[in-house]
Structures are given as structure tokens and as C-alpha cells.
């Protein structure tokens, strides 16, 4: 390398363990995420779990001990896929996407995005054998209180949330600081042209040119919306808002 030549940073690497690699990149193959991938800001590696099956039928699931409906992903097959991923990215967190996981938050997304990348495990059937999760200390995350057919859609959501935070992906990076959850609040409402639409006008304060008044109005709207729609967030955000006003 010549003296003074810039060092190209390593791309943020996502490895997805799945039975359906054809589902990727999916929506990540367009718009901001795809442009960032083309610029090597991030990269995607899909691993077909089935290739680690041992028998001639490539079996990756079996009946649950104790009876019950459905099938369970075998620990030996999944462990082999995980171990291969660990060897390729030892410093990346490994996350299993499951409805019983810890709820994914914006703060956790920021933590993941600030690292070297992430390995995501997409379950299917009734889930995966518990032993492979505990033996490898796999983090378990949920994207919401509902059930999907598999972890692939959840994985796409996690990747998208992280990729947009990577340096150079979003043009106006300062806009990220005013989004929902960044300040512990939901985002304020937005308006654009035309000034009057179906009898409703843009709030006058946004046309005033007074930036301090606009900031105060937006903050008040964010607090109001959070208080009305997300009482769970307001428990902490409300106390913080009160402390700031008291200073």
C-alpha cells in the first residue's frame, strides 16, 4: 500500500443460518441497503443449515421428546452450522430469532451495528433443540409479540435496522438522531407540501421560521404521542423529560 493511501474499512458482515437462503437478500436488495452493499459497507453470507445434515436424506428436524405437535430442529445439525460460523467470525454476536426472546430495542440495534457484524439463526418448525442454545450461549431476540412461520423475516428486519445505522448509509446522518426511540420517545409528526390538504393546514409553527419554537413544538408532540401510545416507554422517558425541564 502506498504511503497516505486510505485504508478501506472491513464491511459489516451478516451471516444468516437458514433453511431458505433464497429468501435473501429479499428487500435488502433494493434502495439504501443494496446501494450500501454495492459500496461494500456491509456484506451478506447465507448458510444453508441443511448442508450440515449427516444422513442421505439431509434431515434437519425430528419429533419432539415428550410428544406434541410439530417437529424440532436437530441440535447436531444446527451446532455444526453454528460452529462453522463461529470459526469465520469469532467476534460477532450470534442471535437466535424467536418470539420468546428478549424484545429487540433500538439501543441493542446500535450495539450490534457498532460491532464487526452479526450471525443470525432462523428457526423453523416448533423451534430448535434447547441444548444447542445453552451450550453455545446463544442470544435470543424477539422482534415482537407475534409468531412468524420462521426467523427469516425477523432476520431481514434486524439487518435492515442495523445497516441503516452504518456510517455512510443514510445521507443525512443527523436525521437518525430524531427518529423514534433515539431519544426514548416516539417521533414527532411530519408535514410537507401542499400547505393545505383536504381542509387541513400545516401547523403554523412549522411555517414560522423560528427554529427554537419548531424544536419545542416537535419535542412536545413527541412527548404527547409517546405518552398516549406507549405508556411503557413513557415511564422512563417522562421522568427524563421532567428532569431536563427542571434544570
pLDDT value of residue 49? 97
pLDDT number for residue 57: 85
Pair 29, 147 in one domain: yes
| Same-domain check for residues 37 and 150 | yes
Does residue 22 lie within any of the structural domains? yes
Instruction: Evaluate whether residue 197 is within a structural domain.
Output: yes
- Whether residue 111 is contained in a domain is answered as yes
Interatomic CA distance for residues 95 and 235, integer angstroms: 28
Task: Characterize the bridge pairing of strands 94-103 and 42-48.
Answer: unpaired
Does 61 share its domain with 137?
yes
Of all residues in the chain, the percent with pLDDT exceeding 90 is: 80
In this structure, the answer to whether residues 182 and 126 fall within a common structural domain is no
Same domain, residue pair 155 and 220:
no
Confidence of residue 86 (pLDDT cuts 50, 70, 90): confident
Residue 38 lies in a domain: yes
Q: What is the pLDDT of residues 121-178, one digit of tens each?
A: 999 999 999 999 999 989 999 999 999 999 999 999 999 999 999 999 997 666 666 6
The pLDDT tens digits for 105-127 are 999 999 999 999 999 999 999 99
Q: Which domain holds residue 21?
A: 12-163
- State the pLDDT confidence band at 243, using cuts at 50, 70 and 90: low
Looking at the structure, do residues 130 and 183 belong to the same domain, yes or no?
A: no
User: How many folded domains does the chain comprise?
Assistant: 2
CATH of the domain at 31: 3.40.1280.10
- pLDDT confidence of residue 116: 95
Flag whether 60 is in a domain. yes
pLDDT at 1 over 50: no
Q: Are 148 and 180 part of one and the same domain?
A: no
Beta bridge partners of 201: 196
Q: Average pLDDT of 34-44?
A: 97
Mean pLDDT score of the chain: 91
Tell me, yes or no, whether 4 lies in a domain. Answer: no
CATH of the domain at 221: 1.10.1270.20
- 128, 163, 198 - which closes a domain: 163
pLDDT category at 56 given cuts 50, 70, 90 is confident
pLDDT for 114: 97
Grade residue 7 by pLDDT with cuts at 50, 70 and 90: low
Q: Is the peptide bond before 236 cis (omega within 30 degrees of 0)?
A: no
Are residues 28 and 75 located together in one domain of the fold? Answer: yes
Same domain, 157 and 58: yes
Domain boundary among 163, 185, 206: 163
Give a yes or no: residue 6 inside a domain.
no
CA distances from 228 to 124, 181, 231, 232, 235 (A): 36, 15, 7, 10, 12
Contact between residue 13 and residue 90 where contact means Cβ atoms under 8 Å apart: no
| Three-class SS state of 79 | helix
- Reported as a pLDDT band with limits 50, 70 and 90, residue 88 is low
Are 182 and 157 within one domain?
no
Are 145 and 213 in a shared domain?
no
168: in domain: no
pLDDT single digits (tens) 191-240: 999 999 999 999 999 999 999 999 999 999 999 999 999 999 999 887 66
Q: Could you give phi then psi for residue 204, rounded to 5 degrees?
A: -60, -35
Residue with more model confidence, 228 or 241: 228
Q: Do residues 106 and 187 share a domain?
A: no
Predicted model pTM:
0.88
Question: What does the DSSP 8-state code read for residue 239?
Answer: H
Domain boundary among 139, 163, 187: 163
Amino acid at each position: 500500500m502506498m504511503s497516505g493511501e486510505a485504508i478501506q474499512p472491513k464491511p459489516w458482515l451478516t451471516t444468516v443460518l437458514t433453511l431458505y437462503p433464497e429468501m435473501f437478500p429479499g428487500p435488502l436488495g433494493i434502495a439504501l441497503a443494496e446501494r450500501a452493499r454495492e459500496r461494500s459497507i456491509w456484506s451478506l453470507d447465507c448458510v444453508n443449515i441443511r448442508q450440515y445434515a449427516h444422513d442421505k436424506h439431509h434431515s434437519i428436524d425430528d419429533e419432539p421428546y415428550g410428544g406434541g405437535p410439530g417437529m424440532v430442529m436437530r441440535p447436531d445439525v444446527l451446532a455444526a452450522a453454528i460452529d462453522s460460523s463461529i470459526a469465520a467470525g469469532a467476534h460477532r454476536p450470534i442471535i437466535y430469532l424467536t418470539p420468546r426472546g428478549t424484545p429487540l430495542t433500538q439501543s441493542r440495534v446500535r450495539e450490534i451495528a457498532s460491532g464487526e457484524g452479526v450471525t443470525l439463526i432462523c428457526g423453523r418448525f416448533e423451534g430448535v433443540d434447547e441444548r444447542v442454545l445453552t451450550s453455545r450461549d446463544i442470544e435470543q431476540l424477539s422482534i415482537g409479540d407475534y409468531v412468524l412461520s420462521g426467523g427469516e423475516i425477523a432476520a431481514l428486519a434486524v439487518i435492515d435496522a442495523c445497516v441503516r445505522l452504518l456510517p455512510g448509509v443514510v445521507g443525512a446522518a443527523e436525521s437518525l438522531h430524531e427518529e423514534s426511540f433515539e431519544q426514548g420517545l416516539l417521533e414527532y409528526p411530519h408535514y410537507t407540501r401542499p400547505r393545505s390538504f383536504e381542509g387541513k393546514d400545516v401547523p403554523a409553527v412549522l411555517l414560522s421560521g423560528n427554529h427554537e419554537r419548531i424544536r419545542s413544538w416537535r419535542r412536545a408532540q413527541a412527548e404527547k404521542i409517546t405518552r398516549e401510545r406507549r405508556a411503557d416507554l413513557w415511564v422512563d422517558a417522562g421522568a427524563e423529560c421532567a428532569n431536563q425541564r427542571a434544570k
